Amino acid sequence: MTDTASDLRRSCERLDRENARLKEQLAAQKRRADSLARTVSHLRKAREEDRKKFEDEIAKKDAIIKGLKKELAEAKAIQNHDGTNTGMSTSRTPIGKDKVISNINSRQKSGRPKGGTPLHKKHSLDGTAVQPDIEETQVHPLEDWVHCPGCGGSDFSPTGESEVKYEYDVRINVVKIKHEFFYYRCNDCGSVIRSDIPPSLKEQHQYGSSLKAILLSLTNTANAAMNKAAMFLAGITGGRLTPCEGYIAKLQRKAAEGLMQFRSDLKHVLVTRKIIYWDDTVIFILTKRACFRFYGDERIAYYTAHEHKDLKSIEEDNVLSILTDDITVMHDHNSINYNEMFCFVNIECIQHLERDLQKNADDTGHVWSLEVKKLISITIKKRKEAIDRGEKSFDKDFIADFNRRLDECLEKGWKENKAEPDTYGADDEKALLNRIKKYRDNYFRWVVDFGLPTTNNLSERSLRGIKSRMKISGQFESVEAADNHAVIRSYIETCRRNGINEIVALQRLCEGHPYTVEEIFREHPL
C-alpha cells in the first residue's frame, strides 16, 4: 500500500510538472501569438497607411496632371485667340501667330484673282480735275552725255516735236497779312471810334486761321504729337513758322472753349435720335487708366473723356440717363446698360457674340457654338437679301424656324457642357449659355425688325481714332486735355459725317464762328 501511494504521489508530481511545463509552453505560445497578432496588426496598419499614402500621392499627381492639362489647354487657347474670336487688336497678336483681321459678316473670298476685273477702266489723275491752268513750265533738253543708240554719235538737232507730262504739286507759301483798322471822328460830337478788331486778331502778331486749322487737324485727326506737329509746320515752311508746343496746347484749349455751345446743342439733338450707338475704351492720363467714350450714329459723333470708366462718369455725361423707352441703344454687352436707372431699349452687338461663340468652340472643341454662329451668318445674309428686295421683316414662319433652330443649338450646348464639366473653358461656356438665355431678345431683335442694326461696329470705328492716337502720341497730361480732345473730335467728326470739309470747319472755328449744330442740320437735314 505504501509503495502504491508513493507511486501515485510521484505520478501526480510528474503530471504537475508536465502540466506546469505545458502551461508555460501555452503561455509562451500565447505570448508569441499575441506578438504575431501585434505584428500583423502593425503590418496591416502600415500597409493601410502605405495604401493611403500611395492613394494620396496618386491623387496629388492626378491633380497636378489635371492642372497641367488645363494650363496647356489655356495656353493653346490663348495662342489661338485673335481678332476672330476675341476683341483683341492685331497689335496684341501672340508672337509667332499671323495677324488675323476678323471677317465676320464681311465679304468672303470669291476665288477670283486680285486686281481689276476684265474691261475695268484704269483710274488715273484727271487732267482738269485739279487745275487746268499751267502755272509753271519746265523744259528738259537732251543731256550732253547722251549718245545715239544707233551710231553712237553725239550731234543732235531738234525735230520740233515734244512729249508733254503734267505734274500736280503743292508749295507752301507763307503769307504775312497786314490788317489795318482806321480811326474815325464823329462829326456831331467829336468822339473817336475805330473799326472793330475781330477776336482772332487781338495780339500784335498771331498765326492765321488756316495755320491754326492745320495744327488742329494734325493733333486731333492725324493724331500727331504736339512736338511733331510743330516740326512738320516748320519743315513745310522752311523754318519760317515755328510754333511751340505751348502754343499748340493753348490753341487746343481755346478751340475746345469755343465749342462748348456746340457740344451742348449736339447732345440735345443726339438724345432725340431713335437709335443711339455707344461704347467706350481705355486711354491713359498720366500713366493711369482712364476712359474715352462715344455716343452717336451715322450723322452724329459725341465724345467725352473721364478719369474713370464707371457708372458715375456715365451719369456725368447725362446721355443714357435722359433717354426714354422709345429710344433703342446699341452696345457691346455693357452690363451697366441694364441698371434700373435707365429705361431705354437695349440691343446687343451680334458680332461680339459671334466672337464669343468662336472662342468657345476653339477653347472647348464643342460644336454647338459654331452651329449658332453659322445660323447667325446665314440669317444675316438672308436679311440683307430681303432688305434689297424692299422687305421690312421676315415672315412669321421664318422667325419661328429661326427660334426653333436656335433652341436646338442651345440645348445641345447645355448637353455638351454638362458632359464635360472639367474641360478648359467649361465655366466660360456655361456663362455664355446663360448670357444668351438671359439677353436672347436683345441679341436677336434684328431678326424681327430690319430697321435695327446687327452690330456696334459704328462705335468701334468711331473709337479707332483715339486708339491710334494713344499708340502714336501717347497719354494725355490731364483729364481736361483729354476732354478738350473729345470736344474738338466731336466737332470735326460730326462735320465730316455731314459732308463738311474738316479744314473749312476748323478755319471757321479758329475765326470765332464755328459751324453750329442748327446750321449743320439745316443744310444737311437729319
Three-state secondary structure readout of 69-82: HHHHHHHHHHHHCC
Range with the largest mean pLDDT of 122-131, 231-240, 381-390, 415-424: 381-390
Grid cell in block for residue 67: 492642372
Q: What pLDDT does 104 receive?
A: 44
Q: What pLDDT does 7 receive?
A: 80
103: confidence class by pLDDT, cuts 50, 70, 90: very low
Report, in angstroms and rounded to the nearest whole number, the Rg of the chain calculated over CA atoms: 42
Q: Please give the full DSSP string across 215-276, using - where no structure is assigned.
A: HHHHHHTS---HHHHHHHHHHHTTTS----HHHHHHHHHHHHHTTHHHHHHHHHHHTT-SEE
CA distance 212 to 503: 10
Q: What is the DSSP letter of 181?
A: -
189: confidence class by pLDDT, cuts 50, 70, 90: very high
In DSSP terms, which residues pair with 345 in a beta bridge? 328
100: confidence class by pLDDT, cuts 50, 70, 90: low
66: confidence class by pLDDT, cuts 50, 70, 90: confident
Residue 212's contacts (CB-CB under 8 Å, 6 or more residues apart) are 251, 255, 506, 507, 510
Instruction: Over range 507-525, report the average pLDDT.
Output: 92
Q: What pLDDT does 110 receive?
A: 52
Instruction: Over range 319-334, report the average pLDDT.
Output: 94
Q: Does the pLDDT of residue 225 top 70, yes or no?
A: yes
Grid cell in block for residue 243: 510754333
Instruction: Over range 208-228, report the average pLDDT.
Output: 93
27: confidence class by pLDDT, cuts 50, 70, 90: confident
33: confidence class by pLDDT, cuts 50, 70, 90: confident
Q: Does the pLDDT of residue 97 top 80, yes or no?
A: no
Q: What pLDDT does 382 receive?
A: 96
Sheet strands (E) in 255-404: 275-285, 288-296, 301-306, 328-331, 345-348
CA distance 116 to 118: 7
Q: What pLDDT does 437 receive?
A: 95
**Model-level pTM?**
0.77
Q: What angle do CA 217, 222, 227 make, to 5 degrees?
A: 85
CA distance 276 to 67: 45
CA distance 91 to 76: 19
- Output the CA torsion sign for 241, 244, 246, 249: positive
72: confidence class by pLDDT, cuts 50, 70, 90: confident
Q: What pLDDT does 202 receive?
A: 82
CA distance 187 to 46: 125
194 sits in which H/E element: strand 192-194
Selection from 372, 441, 436 nearest residue 408 by Cα: 372
Alpha helices in 280-346 (DSSP H): 311-317
Range with the largest mean pLDDT of 64-78, 403-417, 419-433: 403-417
Instruction: Over range 219-238, report the average pLDDT.
Output: 92
User: How high is the mean pLDDT of the chain?
Assistant: 87
| 3-state class (DSSP) for residue 500 | coil
354-399 confidence digits (pLDDT tens)? 999 999 999 889 999 999 999 999 999 999 999 999 999 999 999 9
Q: What angle do CA 82, 84, 90 make, to 5 degrees?
A: 40
The domain segmentation of the chain, as residue ranges, is 208-324+476-526, 350-448
> Is-contact 74 348, C-beta < 8 A?
no
**Residue that is written with C-alpha cell 505545458 in the block:** 22
CA distance 279 to 320: 12
Grid cell in block for residue 523: 443744310
Alpha carbon of 290 to those of 157, 339, 464: distances in Å? 73, 22, 16
57: confidence class by pLDDT, cuts 50, 70, 90: confident
